[in-house]
Amino acid sequence: MTHNKNQCRVNAMIQENRQIKHRDIALKLGISQENVHHITETLNYIKYARQVGPEKIDRPHEGTQENCCSRTS
């Protein structure tokens, strides 16, 4: 299968399901995840959101809401 044909198939899969993962595309098309990543970059698809675990979130203002609320009452 040519690169252009894979590009069309990847594009169609993403248009059908915007939340599809590179891993799932690679498995369905029988190509590597790196190749899928390269194709999505070529098609100018970008990731809008990153999943970050709670342990990685910086919370400098945690608990300030309770402090503000207790001061106003």
CA dihedral 6, 7, 10, 15 (to 10 degrees): -150
Q: What is the pLDDT along the chain (73 residues), one digit of tens a residue?
A: 567 899 999 999 999 998 899 999 999 999 999 999 999 999 988 765 544 445 544 555 555 555 555 555 4
41 within 8 A of 52, measured Cβ to Cβ: no
Quote the tokens at residue 8. Answer: 């069309």
CA dihedral 28, 31, 33, 35 (to 10 degrees): -130
26 within 8 A of 33, measured Cβ to Cβ: yes
